[in-house]
Amino acid sequence: MEKLLVKEILSCQSPYKNVRVEGWVRTRRDSKTFSFIEINDGSCLKNLQIIIDVTLSDYTNINQLTTGSSVAVFGKLVESVGKGQKWELQADGIKLIGASDTSYPLQKKGHSQEFLRDIAHLRPRSNIFGCIFRLRNRLSYAVHNFFQERNFILVHTPIITASDCEGAGELFRVTTINGKLNGIEDNGIDYSKDFFARPTYLTVSGQLEAEIFASAFTKVYTFGPTFRAENSNTSRHASEFWMIEPEMAFCDLEGNMDMAESLVKYLVQDTLVNCDEDLQLFTRFIDKDLLKRLNFVLDKPFERITYSDAVNILKKSGQKFKFPVSYGSNLQSEHERFLTEKHFKRPVTVFNYPRAIKPFYMRLNENGKTVRAMDVLVPGIGEIVGGSQREERLDVLLDNFKTHHLDPKEYWWYLELRKYGTVPHSGFGLGFERMLMFLTGIPNIRDVIPFPRTPGSADF
């Protein structure tokens, strides 16, 4: 007997005579001579329809086959008379594995995403979250394909670090010092007694370590979780999120922007080709313009403008913004969205930001005022990629340490990369969840990560 997943059954060419399949009951309908049940095992969106004849000895248990219960079925495939699928399973036997009663929360279709968020242990069994997390799986695979096809080397950067790469101070501390932190100033704690004999944190970015590896392997990437203790409760920020960070030696800002834009396009293309069923569902229930927008992104080149041009466009727009636009301050998401959705009507790559609003590692331009930073902005989200060319000149970097009040001793290894065979190099970070939001039209980041961590919430 062949044991198959629903996906494998629905796509098989000839009818199996003896097949076993397992899954969770979605619905049951009883008639005089037989019952129909539909089961789903998460391998695809579609259910498998099963016909259970009243003459079957297992039929006596039919009332236990309720929505949410788990079952194992064996029998033969028959061509489906109903539309939408090729095969049904004519049961020769059906066994209840785990019962479920009428308190099962997913009895009916059409729950709100907020409700489903509260039952994160069951929501993967719903249609919409099934599609989201299967798409998330495919997208991870596509990310690796993209880089492996281009001979990038994957590097696993540490989750526990001692440095604040972004310099924003939004760090989660890692400590085994018990219960003493409350109310005590930092300088009252002897970190030499702590587990790592120094202050340590959850990483906000794998970039600095990726730079080490790029200085040996030329083209590398990381793909892992990152953590930010940023107290912003927005639909686009999570405290734990996944980031893809390529780092390329012998590469300037131009090459970096080219790579970021082609990665975004590649992932859109891959999803359109491989996740059609899921995209159809999102277009029907989440965002009716989704497919149109994704195809549009593939067809058109991204717009590229400097930060100062972006500020000028925003100032001249006549648009009322909650946060005023001024040269020298960060672009807010409303500004980013105006540029992509209203002004250019396509993704926009903004580059050359003022030095003062960017981290220490970005390469200073000849004008001494701007750095070779770049952000890729997409409609509906705003910033999806942030990156830069890195400062490879030791003297300029040391100068940056002064302005950013960083201790060069703490970063001695980072500085030595500039001492021994330094090269121009660049990289960026693509927010994996932001990319998923863009591809699915799902408006809240909490719904594209299996177990979201946000300020005040770390359930499951």
CA distance 458 to 460: 7
Residue 299, class by beta-carbon neighbours within 10 Å (0-12 exposed, 13-18 middle, 19+ buried)? exposed
**Which residues make Cβ contacts (< 8 Å) with residue 182, sequence separation at least 6?**
none
CA distance 280 to 257: 31
Name the minimum Å distance from CB 121 to Mg ion: 33
| Site of tokens 């010092």 | 177
Q: DSSP assignment, residue 325?
A: P
User: One-letter amino acid identity for 188?
Assistant: G
Contacts with ligand 4AD by CB under 6 A: the residue count is: 24
Name the minimum Å distance from CB 361 to ligand 4AD: 8
b/e burial code for range 95-114 (CB count within 10 A of at least 16 → b)? ebeeebeeeeebeeeebebe
Q: Applying CB under 6 A, does 166 fall inside the site for ligand 4AD?
A: yes
* Among 243, 310, 378, 417, contact with ligand 4AD (rule: CB under 6 A): 243
Q: Applying CB under 6 A, does 385 fall inside the site for ligand 4AD?
A: yes
- When the beta carbons of 123 and 237 are compared against Mg ion, the nearer one is 237
Provide the binding-site residues for Mg ion, judged by CB under 5 A: 386
Q: Applying CB under 6 A, does 434 fall inside the site for ligand 4AD?
A: yes
CB under 6 A: which stretch of 14-22, 140-148, 235-243, 321-329 binds ligand 4AD? 235-243
Residue 305 token pair: 């403008």
- When the beta carbons of 388 and 422 are compared against ligand 4AD, the nearer one is 388
Position closest to Mg ion via CB: 386
Q: Applying CB under 6 A, does 237 fall inside the site for ligand 4AD?
A: yes
**Which residues make Cβ contacts (< 8 Å) with residue 60, sequence separation at least 6?**
none
CA distance 282 to 286: 5
User: One-letter amino acid identity for 54?
Assistant: V
Residue 373 token pair: 């930073």
CA distance 458 to 38: 34
- When the beta carbons of 89 and 244 are compared against ligand 4AD, the nearer one is 244
Q: Applying CB under 6 A, does 230 fall inside the site for ligand 4AD?
A: yes
Q: Going residue by residue from 244 to 273, which x/- string records binding to ligand 4AD, judged by CB under 6 A?
A: -x----------------------------
Q: Applying CB under 6 A, does 442 fall inside the site for ligand 4AD?
A: no
* Length of the chain measured in residues: 460
- When the beta carbons of 155 and 376 are compared against Mg ion, the nearer one is 376
* Among 134, 228, 358, 446, contact with ligand 4AD (rule: CB under 6 A): 228
Q: Applying CB under 6 A, does 211 fall inside the site for ligand 4AD?
A: no
Q: DSSP assignment, residue 239?
A: S
User: One-letter amino acid identity for 239?
Assistant: S
Name the minimum Å distance from CB 165 to ligand 4AD: 5
Name the minimum Å distance from CB 375 to Mg ion: 6
In degrees and rounded to multiples of 5, residue 233 shows phi and psi of -90, 70
CB under 6 A: which stretch of 25-33, 71-79, 234-242, 323-331 binds ligand 4AD? 234-242
Task: Report the side by side order of strands in the sheet with 200-202.
Answer: 160-161, 200-202, 173-174
Residues at the contact surface with ligand 4AD, assessed by CB under 6 A? 165-166, 205, 207, 228, 230, 237-238, 241, 243, 245, 383-388, 427-429, 431, 433-434, 445
